[in-house]
């Protein structure tokens, strides 16, 4: 099959998968918290109007940023690994993730100050989303992970200007370069606060490119180890060429510790992504530490575990089974040993080689 035909088929599959998906959050400031429900706060740095129900595909990328704090209500029916999300006409606090409060900041300094206050001397987790993602999707995913993984640290979403469209892959790759100064500034400002211990970066898919480029910029800017600025990195299904990743890692020098990469050979989205780059493999589909040998990285292979997502593109938090397993691995220190390969098998257990 010609390469162009394979790319076209891939685009069609992405469109079909996303055609029935709810992609914009419902704001209900009058919502009453039902018994058994939970609320989580999430800080958001985004392009203007993060609740807007529109995409920016084909439009000029906005230079301005907006800073928000959402309080998200999680329904009492919530199951680990799921984001219960219904259209606005049917969404309530009983059956869906909804935004119960949307507080906007007048300036960046107040935003950073409130994050540091919430950290209270502890860590801050910054989540960077992937390709074809709305601000609502990124925020709800960050909230779901914070809740399911019992995370006490404040969660910050860095939303870059995604086209939020299946056909916007190349647009999104350019948007990564457009946004890296803003992410660098956010990380630098948070790490400079005395009431913040460590900044932990968590990136999904194409967001991994943005994180690696940001680390590279921080290294060149400070001329010192990025470990003084970033306390840990987690890359989930990274849409990065392994050779490019090694070159980025070489330029960065001492990588943040821990540095964990979650992969899966069953990731259908990354298979489609490889079609756009001539069939080159992606870091998120590696099944061996060999291509990363010599780097202080833990590679966690989730190939044996399916998530509940059609493309199996979020192997870490896409099912209750996986969430429970990651919790056990974290509690036992199984993600702290650098330079190792962790294979997750069914029935769930991990072997560190």
Write the DSSP symbol of residue 227: G
Q: Which domains does the chain have, with CATH numbers?
A: 3-22+120-352 (3.40.50.1820)
Higher-confidence residue of 228 and 17: namely 228
Q: What is the pLDDT of residues 26-57, one digit of tens each?
A: 898 888 889 999 999 999 999 988 887 665 55
Higher-confidence residue of 155 and 225: namely 155
Top-ranked range on mean pLDDT: pick from 212-221, 308-317, 319-328: 212-221
Q: What is the pLDDT of residues 231-289, one digit of tens each?
A: 999 999 999 999 999 999 999 999 999 999 999 998 989 988 888 777 889 999 998 88
Strand pairing report for 340-345 and 349-352: antiparallel
CA 88 to chain centroid, in Å, comes to 24
> Looking at the predicted structure, is the pLDDT value of residue 104 above 90?
yes
Cα→Cα distances 12→9, 18, 275, Å: 5, 10, 13
Q: Is-contact 128 175, C-beta < 8 A?
A: no
CB proximity list for 50: less than 8 A, separation 6 or greater: 44, 66, 68, 135, 136, 139, 159
> Looking at the predicted structure, is the pLDDT value of residue 103 above 50?
yes
Top-ranked range on mean pLDDT: pick from 72-81, 216-225, 282-291, 295-304: 72-81
What's the pLDDT at 21? Answer: 63
Higher-confidence residue of 346 and 67: namely 67
Average pLDDT (111-123) is 97
Alpha carbon distance 146, 42 (integer Å): 9
User: What confidence category does residue 85 fall into, taking pLDDT thresholds of 50, 70 and 90?
Assistant: very high
What's the pLDDT at 32? Answer: 84
What's the pLDDT at 339? Answer: 58
Phi, psi of 212 (to 5 degrees): -65, -40
> Looking at the predicted structure, is the pLDDT value of residue 119 above 60?
yes
Residue 342, SS3?
A: strand
What's the pLDDT at 59? Answer: 61
Q: What is the dihedral of CA 105, 110, 113, 119, to 10 degrees?
A: -10
What's the pLDDT at 56? Answer: 53
What's the pLDDT at 13? Answer: 46
What's the pLDDT at 17? Answer: 42
Alpha carbon distance 235, 221 (integer Å): 23
What's the pLDDT at 338? Answer: 53
Alpha carbon distance 259, 27 (integer Å): 36
What's the pLDDT at 336? Answer: 56
> Looking at the predicted structure, is the pLDDT value of residue 352 above 50?
no
Average pLDDT (226-233) is 93
What's the pLDDT at 353? Answer: 43
């Amino acid at each position: 099959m010609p390469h162009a035909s394979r790319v076209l088929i891939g685009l069609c599959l992405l469109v079909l998968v996303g055609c029935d998906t709810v992609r914009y959050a419902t704001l209900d400031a009058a919502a009453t918290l039902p018994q058994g429900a939970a609320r989580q706060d999430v800080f958001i740095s985004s392009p203007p109007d993060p609740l807007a129900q529109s995409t920016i595909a084909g439009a000029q990328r906005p230079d301005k940023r907006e800073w928000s704090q959402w309080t998200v209500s999680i329904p009492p029916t919530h199951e680990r690994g799921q984001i219960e999300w219904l259209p606005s006409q049917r969404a309530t606090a009983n059956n869906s993730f909804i935004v119960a409060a949307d507080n906007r900041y007048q300036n960046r300094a107040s935003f950073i100050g409130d994050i540091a206050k919430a950290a209270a001397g502890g860590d801050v987790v910054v989540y960077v989303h992937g390709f074809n993602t709305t601000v609502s999707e990124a925020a709800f995913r960050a909230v779901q992970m914070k809740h399911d993984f019992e995370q006490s640290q404040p969660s910050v979403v860095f939303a870059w200007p995604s086209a939020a469209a299946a056909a916007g892959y190349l647009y999104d790759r350019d948007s990564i370069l457009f946004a890296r100064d803003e992410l660098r500034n956010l990380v630098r400002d948070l790490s400079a606060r005395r009431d913040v211990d460590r900044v932990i970066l968590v990136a999904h898919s194409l967001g991994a490119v943005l994180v690696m480029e940001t680390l590279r910029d921080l290294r060149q800017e400070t001329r010192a180890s990025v470990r003084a600025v970033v306390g840990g990195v987690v890359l989930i299904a990274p849409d990065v060429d392994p050779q490019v990743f090694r070159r980025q890692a070489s330029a960065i020098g001492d990588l943040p510790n821990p540095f964990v990469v979650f992969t899966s050979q069953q990731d259908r989205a990354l298979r489609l992504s490889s079609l756009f780059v001539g069939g080159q493999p992606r870091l998120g589909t590696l099944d061996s530490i060999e291509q990363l040998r010599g780097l202080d990285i833990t590679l966690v292979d989730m190939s044996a575990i399916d998530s509940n997502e059609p493309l199996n593109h979020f192997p870490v938090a896409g099912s209750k089974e996986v969430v429970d397993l990651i919790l056990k691995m974290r509690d036992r220190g199984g993600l702290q040993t650098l330079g190792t390969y962790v294979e997750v098998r069914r029935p769930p257990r991990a072997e560190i080689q």
